[in-house]
Structure formats: structure tokens, C-alpha cells
Amino acid sequence: MSKQRGLWVAILLIFVLTMTTWHVWNTESKLDSVWKNWSPAGKSANFKILNRQKLLIKQGAKTILLIAATSDLHGTLTSTRLLPRTRPRGLLHLVQKVRQLRANNPEMILLDAGDTIQGDPSSFYFSHIFQEKLKPLPIIEVMNQLKYDAIALGNHDFEPPVSVLKQNIAQSNFSWLAANVRFKNAKQPLFPPYKIFIRNGVRVGVLGLITPGVPLWIDPEQRKGLIFDEMLETAKYWVKVLREEENIDFLIGLFHSGDNTRYDQYVASARDLPYPNAAGMIADYLPVFDLIISGHAHRISPKRRTNQLNGHQTPLISPGTAAEGLSTVLVNFEEQSGHWKITETVYDYLKAEVSPESQLLNKLEPRLQKVEKYLQEQTSVLFKRFPNKIELYACGAELSFAAVKNLVPEALSLLPWWWRFEKLPESDLGNLLRREHFFRWLPYDNRIVLVQMFGRQIEIMLESYRRQKFGWYARSSTILAPGGFTAEVDKSRKGSRLFLTGLDEHAFNKEKMYPVWLTNFHWNGGGGLGAKALLNSRQLVRKESVHLRELIFQHLRSPSVKLPEKCKLFLENSTRSASHNSEAGQ
């Protein structure tokens, strides 16, 4: 009887999955691109190449140029609010520094190397929960106040709803640059490739580029029709325009791309994509830039004052992330045969101040309070004690699986094993877990997708999990936790392969298909796992619009939630304590 019923359920499941696959496949290919017929508004509008005469420079003249830069702000406003942290960071902590620099150097150029509008809960809230059409995101509001001149687009900037990105570009008092993004078949870039400034008698060109690795991480619907060209070739084309037609004196490369060429190189080449981190390569092989500002890698370089930069042919600086500090470059020039010649350059890094600037903070207060209210919403689960890293990861894996199990009971999961571990305030102990905690533990805005995978593909997707079991190095973003099955080292055979067993204690069949939940990050190609396992788009069953962190949070809101065993070490259902409290009150 039960065997026959099981068979019918299996047949029905296969039918439903096939139909949904066909449906997803069919609707996606029909959808029009959100980028079709679009052109940027505001300061990014009406890009034009001008034939400019070379600036006249007086004989014997001297001048200076001050450049300040941030990168990978990820919407970060302040470390004192939303997700409080001990180390000061956030753009509000750089306001005084920028004002001081500008007071001494009114002609300063202020730049940012991208990944600006995604990350901080304030960006998330005003992008996904409560969009405000008449105001830019808080981070853009602060950047407008600080009078940024230009920023590069970053890969994460394509993550919020495209309408949010478009709106913020239009409402920015600065240009968003990306010379290597085109709409299919178009020759000209979609965004302005560069911007020209004349400061203290020096004509400065700023060329913006974005990592061409975008398709590895961003959902196809968000970037449909967009082509991300190779950086070095694109740079070669535009520097010629800048030097020969725009007649600039000083050339800055503003790149949302790291300087370690080998990083993610294989991941990208498996998908026929160019080097995602080509800033260092351009610094070495296209020595016409005077300065390169490299973002994306969240690196700080140099960390202190110096007039000597080593490592690349062209000076390359990296301003870190989340406005933990501000990179500055002070260039001294002297006229020589009618040209500006650089006589000395001083690089520095100014750390974020302990307190946020109060006037701008006050201005943002009503919006911050809305976000805080959202972050303070509670689950029905209590913090017994703080977990250590291992306990957090183990509980996280089980919670992730429990949360997606509500959607499709038969499905398995391969969701992130790594959760960001942070020291939490003592006051959290004995209190209910809040949405805030999931913003800390799961900082990335991952959604989930259901994929039909062969047993052998599941095994390949667990490669980093296996390496980690042996104590070998594995990038944390590539370690997936098995959900709904176990993956143990097969000791019966020689070698060190994983042995996958379902909860029904049946071994996995390599040639059988299983429905598995992944994050959209790993499905799109993040970490290179999908390419290794040869996943293809026909295996996609469905995409969920809910974010993984929200799904887990909602799961824990139910008063009758059954906590996974591994979470009971540090969490417990609150009903008991709640009744305790009310008893105490009576």
C-alpha cells in the first residue's frame, strides 16, 4: 500500500516539477529587459566626447591636486546604529574629515569605487520593504551632501530592484561611471564611461570600470541584455579618447575590481567570462594611468602616509570598505615644456572618526527609526547563551534547512555553511532573537532557488565541505551545508570521497535527480560551484523572491516552532519563559 502511494507521490512530484521548470524557462525568455530603451538621468545623463584644446599652463607654474576616495560603502552609515559595532565605520564618520580636507583644498576631487547601494539594513529596507520615490537612499543622500564628484558602478549595485538603482542614479548629484557596460548590440556604453574635471588648473579624466564578473553573482533578470566587457581592452580604447581628444593632464582609473588578477580567475573562465579582478593587470600593462583606485576586494592600501607605492607599475590604491577610512592622494605638479609634470605624490589613509556627524545623523533620524523598528521585530525564540562559531554554523545549517522545508517538504538543501560570527551585546541574553540578528549573521541578500540535481552533482557541490572536513583550505563562501541528508567520508573505500545518505538511510543514487534548494548566488555562479557541477539552466525549477534570512526569521516567529537539536544548545522556545513572566507579574 504505502509503497504504491509513494510511487504515486513521486510521479506527481515529477510532473509538477517538470511543468514548473517549463513555465519558468518559458516566461524568462519572453520577458523584456528592464534596461531596454533606458538611459541614465541626472548628472549621469548626456555623455558626450568633446574635442578640447589642451589647457594652457604658464611657464614655471606650480599646482596641487587633492583626490579623496572611498569604496565598497555597501550603504554603511554609522557603526553606532542599526547594527552597532565596536569599530567605528560608516560614511557619517567621515563627514568631518571630508569637510576639513575641502576647507584646505576647495578643489578636491571626491570619488568612490562602487558597491554603494546594497548591504546596510537601511539600504535593504528602502530598496525592498519601503521604497521612497522622492528621496534617494540614505547613503546617496549623505554622498550628495558630501559633494561626491563621481563613483563607479559595482556588482552589488545590480542587486536591489533595478528601479531603485535607476532612481538613485537620477537623484545623485554625481556621475555613475562604467565604460564596460553596454546594452546588447550597442557600441556605446550604457553609463557614462568617464568624467572630466578641471581643478586647480589641471584637467583630470576619471575613467570608470566595473568587474566583468557581474554575471557570476547577479540574477539574469536584473542584468538582462547587458554586456560586461573585458576591462583591459575597454580601458585601452577610452584612454586614447581621453588623452587625444579630451586632452587631459591627469588620468585616474576608478575601478570596481580588485588588483589580484588570479582571484576568481578560474571561476570566471569556467563561464567564459573575462578576469573579474583586472585592476592590477591594467596598472602593470597599461601604464598610461597616473592613479588607479581599486575597489571590490575590500582591501586597504596603503594603510598609512607614504610617498612611495610599490606593487604595480602605476600607483594603485584601495580604500577599504564600509567607510572605515578615507584614502587621500596629494599630487604636486610643476610646469615643464608646457605640460604638468608630477614632482611628488603623498598617499594617506584617514581612519573613520569615533562619532558620526550629528547634523546629518539628525536629518536621517526619522528614516533610521523606521529601519530600527523593522530590525527590532522579534522571533519567539530566546537567547540562552551566546554560541561559539562551530555552534552557530551547525545551528545555522539546520535552521536554513528547516526554513526551506516549509516550502517543499521533499526538497533537500545546499545552503551557506558560513554565517558571520559577531560578538553580541550582553543585553541580548535572555531576550528574544530579533530580525537584527539575522542581518548580522547573514549579511548577504541571498534569495533561494529550487534546482533539480543529479546525485553526482550534489556530491560535486559539496567539494569545499569535504575539504573542510579534512582541515584543508576552502573559501568559506563555497562551503555548503547538506540539508535533509548526511554527507560523510566514505571509509569503506580507499580515498576520501563523500558518501551521501538520505534521512530514510538510503544511499544517494548518482544518476537520480533530487530537488535541492540553493542560494541565487551559488546558482548564478558564485564560487564557481555550478560550473564545476555542470549545472545548466534547464535544471532550474523555481525561484523564490523571499530572502533566505527573512525566511529563517519568519520560521522562528511561529510560537510553536520546533527548534533543531543543534540550536537548542543556545536557543529555546519562549512560551515557557513568557508564561513565567506573566505568572511573576500576577
Does the protein bind Zn ion through residue 320 (CB under 5 A)? no
* Cα 94 to Cα 97: distance, rounded to the nearest angstrom: 5
* Cα 367 to Cα 461: distance, rounded to the nearest angstrom: 41
Q: Of 177 and 402, which has the nearer Cβ to Zn ion?
A: 177
* Cα 464 to Cα 194: distance, rounded to the nearest angstrom: 40
Cell numbers that stand for 318 in this block: 584601495
Residue 442 CB, shortest distance to Zn ion, in Å, is 18
Q: How many CB atoms lie within 10 A of CB 296?
A: 29
**H helix intervals, 333-429:** 358-375, 389-405
Beta pairing, strands 378-383 & 447-454: unpaired
Residue 295 CB, shortest distance to Zn ion, in Å, is 7
CA of 332: how far to CAs of 89, 307, 317, 528, 574, in Å?
Answer: 30, 11, 17, 44, 64
Does the protein bind Zn ion through residue 215 (CB under 5 A)? no
What is the chain's alpha carbon radius of gyration, rounded to the nearest angstrom?
Answer: 26
* Cα 257 to Cα 209: distance, rounded to the nearest angstrom: 8
Q: Of 219 and 353, which has the nearer Cβ to Zn ion?
A: 219
Part of the chain binding Zn ion (CB under 5 A), chosen from 138-146, 290-298, 362-370, 388-396: 290-298
Q: Of 117 and 433, which has the nearer Cβ to Zn ion?
A: 117
Residue 117 CB, shortest distance to Zn ion, in Å, is 12
What counts of helices (H) and strands (E) characterise the chain?
Answer: 18, 24
Q: Of 117 and 397, which has the nearer Cβ to Zn ion?
A: 117
Does the protein bind Zn ion through residue 357 (CB under 5 A)? no
Does the protein bind Zn ion through residue 127 (CB under 5 A)? no
Part of the chain binding Zn ion (CB under 5 A), chosen from 85-93, 108-116, 129-137, 214-222: 108-116
Does the protein bind Zn ion through residue 155 (CB under 5 A)? yes
Indicate the DSSP class of residue 26: H
Does the protein bind Zn ion through residue 115 (CB under 5 A)? yes
Q: Of 234 and 277, which has the nearer Cβ to Zn ion?
A: 277
Q: Which phi and psi (to 5°) does residue 524 adopt?
A: -65, -25
Residue 494 CB, shortest distance to Zn ion, in Å, is 42
Part of the chain binding Zn ion (CB under 5 A), chosen from 82-90, 147-155, 357-365, 373-381: 147-155
CA of 377: how far to CAs of 118, 453, 538, 557, in Å?
Answer: 21, 36, 39, 9
* Cα 84 to Cα 452: distance, rounded to the nearest angstrom: 40
Residue 449 CB, shortest distance to Zn ion, in Å, is 21
Residue 325 CB, shortest distance to Zn ion, in Å, is 18
Residue 157 CB, shortest distance to Zn ion, in Å, is 9
Cell numbers that stand for 247 in this block: 586632452
Q: Of 264 and 463, which has the nearer Cβ to Zn ion?
A: 264
Q: Phi/psi class of residue 320: alpha, beta or left (left: φ > 0; alpha: ψ in -120 to 50)?
A: left
Q: Of 171 and 321, which has the nearer Cβ to Zn ion?
A: 321
**H helix intervals, 49-179:** 95-104, 121-124, 138-145, 162-170
Residue 444 CB, shortest distance to Zn ion, in Å, is 12
Q: Of 258 and 483, which has the nearer Cβ to Zn ion?
A: 258
Q: Of 97 and 299, which has the nearer Cβ to Zn ion?
A: 299
Q: Of 152 and 364, which has the nearer Cβ to Zn ion?
A: 152
Part of the chain binding Zn ion (CB under 5 A), chosen from 21-29, 115-123, 127-135, 466-474: 115-123
Q: Which phi and psi (to 5°) does residue 403 adopt?
A: -70, -40
Residue 223 CB, shortest distance to Zn ion, in Å, is 14
Part of the chain binding Zn ion (CB under 5 A), chosen from 151-159, 161-169, 350-358, 443-451: 151-159
Does the protein bind Zn ion through residue 296 (CB under 5 A)? yes
* Cα 471 to Cα 420: distance, rounded to the nearest angstrom: 20
Cell numbers that stand for 533 in this block: 557541477
Beta pairing, strands 150-152 & 175-177: parallel
Strand partners, 62: 334
Chain Cα centroid distance, residue 542: 23
Part of the chain binding Zn ion (CB under 5 A), chosen from 32-40, 187-195, 291-299, 421-429: 291-299
Chain Cα centroid distance, residue 265: 18
Residue 237 CB, shortest distance to Zn ion, in Å, is 23
Part of the chain binding Zn ion (CB under 5 A), chosen from 80-88, 125-133, 288-296, 418-426: 288-296
Part of the chain binding Zn ion (CB under 5 A), chosen from 14-22, 110-118, 408-416, 558-566: 110-118
Part of the chain binding Zn ion (CB under 5 A), chosen from 77-85, 158-166, 294-302, 528-536: 294-302
Q: DSSP for 313-340?
A: SS-EEEE-STTSEEEEEEEEEEEETTEE
Does the protein bind Zn ion through residue 154 (CB under 5 A)? yes
CA end-to-end span of the chain? 54
Q: Which phi and psi (to 5°) does residue 252 adopt?
A: -110, 130
Q: Of 21 and 155, which has the nearer Cβ to Zn ion?
A: 155
- What's the sign of the alpha-carbon dihedral 294, 300, 305, 308? negative
The greatest distance separating any two alpha carbons of the chain, rounded to the nearest whole angstrom, comes to: 98
Binding positions for Zn ion, 257-276, rule CB under 5 A: none
Residue 217 CB, shortest distance to Zn ion, in Å, is 8
Part of the chain binding Zn ion (CB under 5 A), chosen from 293-301, 357-365, 412-420, 503-511: 293-301
* Cα 132 to Cα 126: distance, rounded to the nearest angstrom: 7
Count of residues interacting with Zn ion (CB under 5 A): 4
Q: Of 73 and 364, which has the nearer Cβ to Zn ion?
A: 73
Residue facing Zn ion at closest CB distance: 296
Q: Of 203 and 296, which has the nearer Cβ to Zn ion?
A: 296
Binding positions for Zn ion, 500-539, rule CB under 5 A: none
Residue 155 CB, shortest distance to Zn ion, in Å, is 5
Residue 195 CB, shortest distance to Zn ion, in Å, is 21
Site residues (vs Zn ion, CB under 5 A): 115, 154-155, 296
